[in-house]
């Protein structure tokens, strides 16, 4: 056979410099400086070669091919790499790392990266002590880094490598070369086929880089002799686009590696002292053939040894040694793929090596594929037979190669010569033409997949389940297909509550805990089939009584004479039948004792309860799911009897001591305490004395007026209420003494006067209060030492010794005011002041000012005390009165000035009045021109304080500018209008639209509080002609006039009928839900109180108010409102009896919701000694109203 060019075995190797870039016009061949690696384009991921991508890559024996064109093609197709692995060189035993980086900015998950050596060898399976693959991710830069580490490199690691990255439909590939150089001191023989070395499992170098896994054992088959073909000559003379075709045809698995090693074999022949003639660089033989290795020795006596892949060859039937003179010959019989290896012979210290290539004969397709028809979901097998066992066979679908990837739905099975393509579950999209190709032939067939007729093996069954139990619907069909579930025609999706299962041909619908809403018609519809499987589900619920709100032993206590309305919530589906009974006698729905039944509750009503009504009452519920019964005990109690008349045992100047005996009958409930009242003998008005219940039977009333006759009486209180009052005690008269004035302070000081102010005495004697005496004395009269420094201290004794005749009376005549100015004082002097209260009994003890007062005017900086409501915009309507009082401080002689919008105020329209302590701005009849910012300035000498008041005068708006009829169709008219030019100085809040028939011109309102500037009027009468007008509205109300359409709208009798588009109804139903709860409230007795909350729900819920779990009905003291979801309960003039827990209940067909709060009623008590002084009850309040009984809260 032809032999390739021989090369010197001892030629040293060096890393090549970058090759020159070649263009396609260079003629297909080119040389670099050291005739190094050949660049062959990497095929795409589907395994099909693309010649168009390789026409720039050229190779020939002995000449290097340029790499730049291949690299340029890689850069053009690069879509994922941001850094590619670069070719490198490493010495034998050294380490090297190749790095690839992928940007993850546009990727949702980690890309798939594979490393290859040669054409097909996946290095993931070769990872071990000499090869490590690592990956990392940098979160800040969002870059994936993939590394391939080669450790302790060997010579056979050299070759071409490839890195592929894929993500969904994106693919990128990059090729690079590794060159392993030998040490110059120990040149080794060239091992061209070392990359094809086979490494067995479990051996020391298992997992090293080799290509043994790609070569399949083939059975030797006798065939006709064919002329030997030198593959290397074919590659040398072939176009680069045909390299891969030749490699597949002649069984070459590592095309690039072989080309590179053959180039390195080109070395100059060097004479050897031991070998007169050495081995050829390479030999080629067909599988099953015989090969002859021959060397000629210079010295025939030298010992000769033959080696295969480093293992010495021993003589056998396969290996035959022959000596002919100086020639030493090795015959290898019946060559197999295992003989494809590196061979060398040693003679003394010298060595001569070669490579043996075993060529695999072409593989033929002996039995082709056949057209196949099947159904969806069936297993499909497409089989063919080839001429050799375990041959390399490629499968294609519509011309695209199929891979045997574990994640692929296609599986390739090889059994000897038989190759089978398996599709476990065929689908419609598997319809295609499938083909198989070998090195010596191909075959194709068509696959047709259709739907299989569907049969119902197990239909859904109607079910009746109890509320809360599991709903389990199951059906079985003849095909394993997906499907959808429907309830009442609506698609049902899987959720936390609804579970949908599909296993094989069985479909299940499960609701672990059923609800009333789960009742309906259900249906399963298989995908791709026009068939449905229906059933009905009926949900029932056993009846149940909800007695959580009742007391111990289901006892309900009611006050004698009052009405009892006991509501018991009930549940059950269907609605249960309710029966009330007492003993053996049933209770009807009429009479004083009656039963009332509602869908969700039942009420026992007793009008004017009597003591005889006490006892057990039975309630029984029944429906088709079961029954429930309970006993409810009714207890009727009453208020206690009144105590006996109290006795007054002691009397003081403003107090007394009284005692009494407990009542004879406590009304069936223990006495909790007593209330005390008193009145003047001449009066008929009684006044409560104690705010909290008194447990004892003794009390000491205080703060009475001397000289006035009084009477007292007692009330007994138990848990039910307050008894009637006892008989009044005998009348008695107390006595009292007047106290000195209080809170004496300096009100103002000038250069010649001092103004003092004080408060009336805490206690005024029986003779009343006639007036006050103001006295003062000057410094130097004995009060220069021992003076108090605490200005807040009130003194009843002088802080120094002053004789009585040294005090000067400032007012010869009594003053009844609590303010007095002492005039005619010398400037710079210091005085001490005291005040006495005077009545018919004489003067009270004096009240002293704690500090001497300097008679000299003090400057007080100006300060405007702007009321809180004026810090925001002050709004009034046109025609209303504006009267604003703004207090300020500042001494002496504060000057006040006003400006409006930066200009002085016109006093002809706005009245300004200034006093020493405040200023008043007054507008008798406000106009819109009075709106603006009013600036107030207070000046005291060089000190200034300013304030701004924003006044807005609003009026009703003008009418809209124009109203236009945009469109008329059917019974509808579309209107539009422009907002009014005059908005009345306030925002437009809406519009009111009215219509009028042209015949009668009577106006009717069709829309109110409408916010848009266009509207559609519906339900007009066909044949009538209408005019429309629009009012504008703001916070002051509607505009005085309205804008009417100039034209009328005729609702035509005949014409094209407008067909309304069909829309699917949206389910607006919603169970009640409170968006704003009730809050605990304090109310004042005698003043109306309101409780507010807001609720939403559809259908509109029914609102019920309850007090202490009892429904409020037909009670004039309560008023209930519900507007736009806002629920209000108004309690008119509440008394202590109205305190308690209030509940608002909202109910519709989907459910109910409740909120509750506590209401506490407090009493305002008007004092007797100091009229107008309020006292508030605190703590556990007990309050009294003369119209209602007294209760505890």
Q: pLDDT digit string (tens) for 36-60?
A: 333 333 333 333 333 333 333 333 3
Residue range 531-552: average pLDDT? 86
Radius of gyration of the chain (CA): 56
Residue 734: CB atoms within 10 A of its CB come to 21
- Mean residue pLDDT of the chain comes to 80
Provide the pLDDT confidence category of residue 252 given band limits of 50, 70 and 90: low
Q: What is the pLDDT of residue 800?
A: 61
74: pLDDT strictly greater than 50: no
- The dihedrals phi and psi of 234, each to the nearest 5 degrees, come to -60, -45
What share of the chain has pLDDT > 90, as a percent? Answer: 35
Contact 505, 476 (CB under 8 A): yes
Q: Give yes or no for residue 223 having a pLDDT over 60.
A: no
Q: Which of 341, 357, 346, 367 is nearest to 297 (CA)?
A: 346
Residue 792, number of CB atoms within 10 A of its CB? 8
| pLDDT confidence tier of residue 389, bands split at 50, 70 and 90 | confident
| Residue 1163, pLDDT above cutoff 50 | yes
- In the predicted model, is pLDDT for residue 780 greater than 80? no
Q: Is beta strand 275-277 parallel, antiparallel or unpaired with respect to 170-181? A: unpaired
Could you identify the residue written with the tokens 């001497």?
Answer: 852
Q: Report d(CA 195, CA 190) in Å as an integer.
A: 12
Of 174-188, 270-284, 359-373, 638-652, the one with minimum mean pLDDT is: 174-188
Question: Residue 1165's pLDDT is what?
Answer: 60
Whether pLDDT at 198 is above 70 = no
Lowest mean pLDDT among 192-206, 366-380, 589-603: 192-206
Average the pLDDT over 904-909 and give the result: 86
- SS3 of 278, please? coil
Residue pLDDT, tens place only, 839-894: 765 788 899 988 888 888 777 889 999 998 888 999 999 999 999 999 998 887 78
pLDDT band at 1071; cut points 50, 70, 90 = very high
Indicate the DSSP class of residue 1182: B
Average pLDDT over residues 565-570: 89
- DSSP string of 757-805, one letter each residue: EEE--SS--TT---EEEEEEEETTSS-SSS----TT--BSS-SS---GG
Q: Which residue has the higher pLDDT, 47 or 821?
A: 821
Higher-confidence residue of 1080 and 1061: namely: 1080
DSSP-derived letter for residue 1188 is B
Examine the pLDDT at 815 and tell me if it is beyond 60.
yes
pLDDT at 1006: 94
> Alpha-carbon distance 1022 to 1053, whole Å?
6
Bond into 574 cis (ω within 30): yes
Residue 1191 has pLDDT above 60, yes or no: no
3-class state of residue 246 by DSSP: helix
Q: Are 973 and 1016 in contact (CB under 8 A)?
A: yes
Task: Count the Cβ atoms, other than its own, within 10 Å of residue 482.
Answer: 9
Residue 15: pLDDT over 60: no
pLDDT at 199 over 80: no
* % of the chain surpassing 70 pLDDT: 80
Mean pLDDT for the stretch of residues 371-395: 87
Please determine, for residue 212, whether its predicted confidence score (pLDDT) is greater than 90: no
| Structural tokens at position 256 | 């690039």
- Give the bridge partners for 570, in sequence order: 545
pLDDT on residue 1132? 92
- Locate 1052 and state its tokens: 């035509």
More confident position, 706 or 498: 498
- E strand residue ranges, 892-1017: 895-900, 903-904, 911-914, 918-923, 932-940, 943-954, 963-969, 972-977, 990-997, 1003-1010, 1014-1017
The Cβ of residue 1037 has, within 10 Å, a number of other Cβ atoms equal to 14
Q: Provide mean pLDDT across the span 1163-1181.
A: 45
Per-residue pLDDT of 1026-1037, as tens digits, reads: 999 999 999 999
CA 782 to chain centre: 81
d(CA 1067, CA 1121): 28
Q: How many other CB atoms sit within 10 Å of the CB of residue 461? A: 11
| Distance separating alpha carbons of residues 749 and 125, to the nearest angstrom | 106
Please give the average per-residue pLDDT across 652-676, as a whole number.
87
Query: Using one digit for the tens of pLDDT, what is the confidence trace for 437-467?
Result: 887 788 899 999 888 888 888 999 998 888 8
- Residue 250 Cα distances to 6, 26, 229, 235, angstroms: 22, 29, 10, 11
Q: Provide the sign of the torsion angle of the four alpha carbons 26, 32, 35, 40, taken in this order.
A: negative
- pLDDT, residue 218, reads 37
Prediction pTM value: 0.29
Strands 533-545 and 463-466, how do they pair?
parallel
Distance, in Å, from the CA atom of 1119 to the CA atom of 1092, rounded to the nearest integer, reads 12
Q: Is the pLDDT of residue 379 over 70?
A: yes
Give the confidence band of 205 by pLDDT, cuts at 50, 70, 90: very low
pLDDT at 435: 92
**What single-letter DSSP state applies at residue 547?**
-
Residue of 1093, 1088, 1076, 1074 whose CA lies nearest to 1142: 1093
What average pLDDT does this structure show over 112-133?
A: 83
Contacts of 851 (CB under 8 A, 6+ apart): 787, 788, 789, 791
State residue 408's pLDDT score: 84
Q: What is the pLDDT of residue 241?
A: 62
Residues 525, 264: Cα–Cα separation, whole Å = 70
Q: What are phi and psi of 633, to 5 degrees?
A: -95, 125
Give the bridge partners for 739, in sequence order.
Answer: none
């Amino acid at each position: 056979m032809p032999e390739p060019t021989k090369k010197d075995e001892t030629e040293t190797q060096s890393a090549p410099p970058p090759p020159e870039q070649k263009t396609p016009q260079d003629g297909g061949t080119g040389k670099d400086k050291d005739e190094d690696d050949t660049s062959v384009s990497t095929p795409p991921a589907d395994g099909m070669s693309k010649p168009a991508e390789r026409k720039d890559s050229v190779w020939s024996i002995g000449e290097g091919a340029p790499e730049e064109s291949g690299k340029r093609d890689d850069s053009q197709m690069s879509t994922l790499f941001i850094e590619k692995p670069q070719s490198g060189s490493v010495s034998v035993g050294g380490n090297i790392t190749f790095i690839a980086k992928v940007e993850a900015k546009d990727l949702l998950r980690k890309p798939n990266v594979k490393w290859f050596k040669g054409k097909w060898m996946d290095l993931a399976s070769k990872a071990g002590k000499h090869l490590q693959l690592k990956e990392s991710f940098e979160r800040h830069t969002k870059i994936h880094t993939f590394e391939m580490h080669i450790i302790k490199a060997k010579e056979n690691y050299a070759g071409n490598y490839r890195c592929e990255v894929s993500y969904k439909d994106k693919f990128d590939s990059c090729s690079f070369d590794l060159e392993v150089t030998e040490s110059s001191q120990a040149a080794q023989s060239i091992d061209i086929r070392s990359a094809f070395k086979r490494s067995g499992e479990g051996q020391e170098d298992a997992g090293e880089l080799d290509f043994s896994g790609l070569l399949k054992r083939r059975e030797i088959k006798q065939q006709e002799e064919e002329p030997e073909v030198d593959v290397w000559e074919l590659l040398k003379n072939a176009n680069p686009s045909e390299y891969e075709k030749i490699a597949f045809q002649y069984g070459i698995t590592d095309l690039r590696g072989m080309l590179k090693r053959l180039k390195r074999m080109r070395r100059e022949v060097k004479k050897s002292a031991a070998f007169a003639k050495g081995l050829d660089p390479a030999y080629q033989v067909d599988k099953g053939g015989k090969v002859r290795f021959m060397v000629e020795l210079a010295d025939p006596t030298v010992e000769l040894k033959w080696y295969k892949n480093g293992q010495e060859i021993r003589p056998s039937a396969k290996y035959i040694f022959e000596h002919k003179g100086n020639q030493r010959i090795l015959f290898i019989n019946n060559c197999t793929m295992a003989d494809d290896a590196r061979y060398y012979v040693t003679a003394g210290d010298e060595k001569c090596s070669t490579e043996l290539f075993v060529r695999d004969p072409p593989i033929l397709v002996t039995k082709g594929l056949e057209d196949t028809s099947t159904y969806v979901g069936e297993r499909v097998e497409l089989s063919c037979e080839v001429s050799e066992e375990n041959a390399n066979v490629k499968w294609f679908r519509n011309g695209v190669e199929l891979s045997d990837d574990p994640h692929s739905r296609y599986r390739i099975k090889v059994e000897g010569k038989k190759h089978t393509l398996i599709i476990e579950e065929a689908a419609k999209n598997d319809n295609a033409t499938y083909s198989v190709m070998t090195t010596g032939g191909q075959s194709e067939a068509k696959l047709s997949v259709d739907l299989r007729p569907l049969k119902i093996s197990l239909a859904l069954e109607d079910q009746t389940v109890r509320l809360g139990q599991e709903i389990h619907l199951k059906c079985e069909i003849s095909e394993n297909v997906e499907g959808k579930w429907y309830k009442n025609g609506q698609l049902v999706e899987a959720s936390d509550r609804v579970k949908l299962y599909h296993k094989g041909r069985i479909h299940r619908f499960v609701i672990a805990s059923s609800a009333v809403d789960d009742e309906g018609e259900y249906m399963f519809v298989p995908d791709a089939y026009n068939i449905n499987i229906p059933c009905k589900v009926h949900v029932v619920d056993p009846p149940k009584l909800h007695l959580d709100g009742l007391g111990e032993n289901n006892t309900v206590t009611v006050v004698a004479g009052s009405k009892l309305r006991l509501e018991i919530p009930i549940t059950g589906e269907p609605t249960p039948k309710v029966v009330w009974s007492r003993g053996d006698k049933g209770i009807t729905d009429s009479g004083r004792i009656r039963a009332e039944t509602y869908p969700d509750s039942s009420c026992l009503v007793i009008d004017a309860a009597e003591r005889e009504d006490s006892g057990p009452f039975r309630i029984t519920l029944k429906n088709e799911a079961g029954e429930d019964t309970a006993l409810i005990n009714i207890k009727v109690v009453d208020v206690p009897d009144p105590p006996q008349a109290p006795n007054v045992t002691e009397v003081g100047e403003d107090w007394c001591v009284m005692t009494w005996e407990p009542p004879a009958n406590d009304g069936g409930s223990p006495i909790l305490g007593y209330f005390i009242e008193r009145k003047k003998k001449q009066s008929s008005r009684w006044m409560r004395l104690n705010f909290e219940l008194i447990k004892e039977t003794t009390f000491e009333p205080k703060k009475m007026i001397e000289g006035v006759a009084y009477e007292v009486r007692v009330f007994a209180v138990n848990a039910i209420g307050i008894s009637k009052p006892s008989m009044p005690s005998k009348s008695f008269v107390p006595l009292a003494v007047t106290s000195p004035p209080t809170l004496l302070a300096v009100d103002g000081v000038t250069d010649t006067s001092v103004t003092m102010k004080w408060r009336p005495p805490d206690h005024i004697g029986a003779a009343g209060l006639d007036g006050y005496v103001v006295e003062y004395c000057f410094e130097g009269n004995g009060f220069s030492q021992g003076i108090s420094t605490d200005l807040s201290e009130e003194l009843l004794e002088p802080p120094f010794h002053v004789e009585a005749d040294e005090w000067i009376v400032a007012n010869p005549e009594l003053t009844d005011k609590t303010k007095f100015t002492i005039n005619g004082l010398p400037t710079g002097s210091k005085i001490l002041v005291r005040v006495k209260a005077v009545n018919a009994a004489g003067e009270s003890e004096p009240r002293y000012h704690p500090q001497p007062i300097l008679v000299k005017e003090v400057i007080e900086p100006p300060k405007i005390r702007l009321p809180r409501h004026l810090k925001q915009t002050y709004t009034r309507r046109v025609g209303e009165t504006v009267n604003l009082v703004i207090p300020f401080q500042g001494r002496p002689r504060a000057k006040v000035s006003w400006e409006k919008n930066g200009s002085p105020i016109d006093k002809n329209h706005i009245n300004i009045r200034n006093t020493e302590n405040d200023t008043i701005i007054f507008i008798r009849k406000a106009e819109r021109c009075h709106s603006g910012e009013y600036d107030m300035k207070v000046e005291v000498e060089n000190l200034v304080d300013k304030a701004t008041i924003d006044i807005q005068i609003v009026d009703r708006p003008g009418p809209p500018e124009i109203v236009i009829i945009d469109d008329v169709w059917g019974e509808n008219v579309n209107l539009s209008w422009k907002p009014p030019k005059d908005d009345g100085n306030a925002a437009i809040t809406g519009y009111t639209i009215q219509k009028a028939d042209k015949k009668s011109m009577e106006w009717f309102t069709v829309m109110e509080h409408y916010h848009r500037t266009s509207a559609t009027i519906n339900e007009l009468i066909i044949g009538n002609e209408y005019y429309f007008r629009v009012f504008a509205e703001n916070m002051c109300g509607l505009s005085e006039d309205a804008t009417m359409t100039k034209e009328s709208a005729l609702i035509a009798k005949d014409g094209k009928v407008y067909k309304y588009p069909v829309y699917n109804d949206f389910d607006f139903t919603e169970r009640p839900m409170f968006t704003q709860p009730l809050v605990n409230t304090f109310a004042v007795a005698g003043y109306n109180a309101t409780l507010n909350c807001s609720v939403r729900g559809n259908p509109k819920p029914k609102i019920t108010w309850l007090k202490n779990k009892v429904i409020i009905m037909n009670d004039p003291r309560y008023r209930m409102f519900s507007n736009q979801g806002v629920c209000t309960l108004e309690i008119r003039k509440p008394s202590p009896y109205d305190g308690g827990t209030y509940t608002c209940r909202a109910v519709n067909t989907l459910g109910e919701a409740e909120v509750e709060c506590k209401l506490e009623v407090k009493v305002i008590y008007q004092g007797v000694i100091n009229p107008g002084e309020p006292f508030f009850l605190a703590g556990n309040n007990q309050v009294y109203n003369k119209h209602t009984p007294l209760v505890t809260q």
